[in-house]
Structure 1
């Protein structure tokens, strides 16, 4: 795949002409009345990117929803939104050593939508290419990343933030011909709690609302989407027991398949993550570790992986006999793990 680059000053080198931005507040397109207004990088006082920003000659195929894991502050002013954007950029550049803000867009608790990484807005307006991000390893050239200010582990986002997130996702889907079903959470691809349990649980609603804005309709089943469960200390259920069997299959034999995610299990996960050099070594099993843990299971097979599969099959509402278990790949495992009975929290 070919790609162009954005210079340190922000001009595109290669195949894209420069689009001038004239003010702090940029209104994108006119597809529908609820279209979001987006504050560009100049508008919130961004620093220059420290190196060229790659732009890929391809359209993104999905959207990743994040939360900033910052306090759910009461200040919902424009000034607070600008400070948030500057703080994120400073952290990403100074602490993580990145060339710019990692995500493409940020939404404040006051409902202000801000461009994150330079030229993300300009390229989105054209709807043909993608600015390479740094919001999720493995997804940065195929997914648009949106950070939502706050921590949404125990509470949901403010209505105004939610509405802007819906409108922004609809605009991105419209520009790039992305299906609303292709809206994911950060944890779908990494071992992280992001975007928080509550906001992650609202993603089926987000997909449905985005579809509605685009004049589409999603059934509940389609909007739910199969996903890897996030497992942490104190979780219980068949999904935990299956993970414990799979850890034993991977050589972590100190783990006992009790169905309760204890400290021994967490330590084993950390060891597994270290061996496989995952991005996070945090003892949680999410969208990065699951695909590394699971493997194909043949009918009639015995052993730890087969026992993991049987635990999940037997937890189904209409279980089948153990001899019928046959899992070809990760998609089969994810389908089993997506069932409501697989995890108790």
Structure 2
């Protein structure tokens, strides 16, 4: 069942963003080009206390909860954009969870709370959407949420109580966020550098300027607990007038999402129009430039067995980097996997043959 939002402000008009949806939605390609594969962290993480929906009085979901047969590959951090309460009790946490669920079902038309998990200013962690705790404990499934347009098949979300535009989270709240994030990443095999703010994908100020500024620290703190490198992908911004293989890779990525642009390596009016159309379709900032937010939305993790235009982008870039993989045919076979591994070795990245955001960003740098 596809979930779409109701328009208009509410008490939890979180992230000041309209049109949020849990569905794959416009611009999202789900086909042979999609492979969700995460590298398992080296270390386990302590199990935090997470209060299930049955404990805080959740109403039954208004529709079927979609359980996807693969784990998420990203963790998104949100804020509720609501008052910074000084009631840190568990009872307040329960009431907050009920309020969010009521808003999301009755005012937004979703089947349940949009996010999988909620973290309060009192440092209480709660299950948001039904079955999210079940999926987390298993580690090999994902409950489709409704917290970030065009990313809900790939990302698990933590909703942090409060407004963090000018205020920072309480120390206790932040410590609990590290603990919960580390456990989620360890269970699902999400690397620390795949922790994002909502604004990294959609046109929104979520999770607030102060909390967003703390994400590098959060990634580092999570990496300390589960291992790995916390450095996120460093995308190169491309704009009108640019030329070369990086532009061709962008054009292939746009074609993977349905654009009819020609992959000629020239960022002309046709490419700019395709970028704007794509940005609008995924509710990203519409500026006609392919910056980090646009690249984040364009990229779908690729591995052996993937196929399509996005694979051509990888193959073309590997050839341009002096790592010959043969014909640019869009089939991610043994030669392409070997080329990706060679490139990852040179870049001193984890060598797994999977093209995640960091690998593609370095390829196109």
Quick one: structure 1 residues 39 and 332, their matched pair in 2 at CA, closer, same or farther if it must change by over 3 Å?
same
Quick one: structure 1 residues 148 and 227, their matched pair in 2 at CA, closer, same or farther if it must change by over 3 Å?
farther
Task: Give the deviation of 1:138 after TM superposition.
Answer: 2.1
Task: Give me the TM-score of the superposition, normalised by structure 1.
Answer: 0.59
Task: Give the deviation of 1:130 after TM superposition.
Answer: 0.9
Once the two structures are superposed, residues 288-325 of structure 1 have per-residue CA deviations (whole angstroms, 9 ceiling, x without a partner) of 556799xx9xxxxxxxxxxxxxxxxxxxxxxxxxxxxx
Once the two structures are superposed, residues 195-224 of structure 1 have per-residue CA deviations (whole angstroms, 9 ceiling, x without a partner) of 11221121111111112222x2x5xxx534
Q: 1:291 and 1:169 mapped to 2: Cα distance?
A: 20
Quick one: structure 1 residues 171 and 244, their matched pair in 2 at CA, closer, same or farther if it must change by over 3 Å?
same
Higher relative contact order (CA 8 A, sep 6+): 2
Q: 1:227 and 1:72 mapped to 2: Cα distance?
A: 33
Q: 1:292 and 1:129 mapped to 2: Cα distance?
A: 22
Quick one: structure 1 residues 77 and 138, their matched pair in 2 at CA, closer, same or farther if it must change by over 3 Å?
same
Structure-1 residue corresponding to 2:230 = 223
Q: 2:222 and 2:110 mapped to 1: Cα distance?
A: 31
Unaligned runs of 5+ in 2: 1-43, 243-266, 299-312, 314-359
Quick one: structure 1 residues 108 and 250, their matched pair in 2 at CA, closer, same or farther if it must change by over 3 Å?
farther
1:170 corresponds to 2:170: no
Structure-2 residue corresponding to 1:331 = 361
Quick one: structure 1 residues 193 and 282, their matched pair in 2 at CA, closer, same or farther if it must change by over 3 Å?
farther
1:188 corresponds to 2:200: yes
Q: 2:297 and 2:135 mapped to 1: Cα distance?
A: 34
Task: Give the deviation of 1:74 after TM superposition.
Answer: 1.3
Retained in 1: the 8 A contact 2:235–2:362?
no
Structure-2 residue corresponding to 1:279 = 283
* Rg comparison, structure with higher value: 1
**Alignment counterpart, residue 124 of structure 1, candidates 116, 130, 136:** 136
Quick one: structure 1 residues 292 and 175, their matched pair in 2 at CA, closer, same or farther if it must change by over 3 Å?
closer
Retained in 2: the 8 A contact 1:181–1:207?
yes
Task: Give the deviation of 1:35 after TM superposition.
Answer: 2.9
Quick one: structure 1 residues 291 and 58, their matched pair in 2 at CA, closer, same or farther if it must change by over 3 Å?
closer
Please give the residue correspondences for 1:116-265 in structure 2 after superposition, counting only pairs within 5 Å. Answer: 116-214=128-226, 216=227, 222-226=229-233
Quick one: structure 1 residues 56 and 101, their matched pair in 2 at CA, closer, same or farther if it must change by over 3 Å?
same
Q: 2:204 and 2:234 mapped to 1: Cα distance?
A: 14
Task: Give the deviation of 1:287 after TM superposition.
Answer: 5.7
Retained in 2: the 8 A contact 1:190–1:287?
no
Structure-1 residue corresponding to 2:310 = none
Once the two structures are superposed, residues 38-76 of structure 1 have per-residue CA deviations (whole angstroms, 9 ceiling, x without a partner) of 111011111110111111111111211111111112111
Query: Any idea what SS the aligned residue of 1:64 has?
Result: strand
Task: Give the deviation of 1:110 after TM superposition.
Answer: 0.3
Unaligned runs of 5+ in 1: 1-30, 230-238, 254-271, 297-329, 336-345
Retained in 2: the 8 A contact 1:89–1:100?
yes
**Alignment counterpart, residue 60 of structure 1, candidates 50, 63, 72:** 72
Once the two structures are superposed, residues 315-338 of structure 1 have per-residue CA deviations (whole angstroms, 9 ceiling, x without a partner) of xxxxxxxxxxxxxxx837996xxx
Q: 2:234 and 2:100 mapped to 1: Cα distance?
A: 28
Task: Give the deviation of 1:282 after TM superposition.
Answer: 8.7
Q: 2:167 and 2:128 mapped to 1: Cα distance?
A: 25
Retained in 1: the 8 A contact 2:82–2:161?
yes
Q: Which runs of 4+ in 1 moved over 4 A?
A: 242-246, 248-251, 272-275, 280-293, 332-335
Retained in 2: the 8 A contact 1:41–1:118?
yes
Quick one: structure 1 residues 275 and 204, their matched pair in 2 at CA, closer, same or farther if it must change by over 3 Å?
closer
Retained in 1: the 8 A contact 2:201–2:296?
no
Cα-Cα RMSD: 3.8
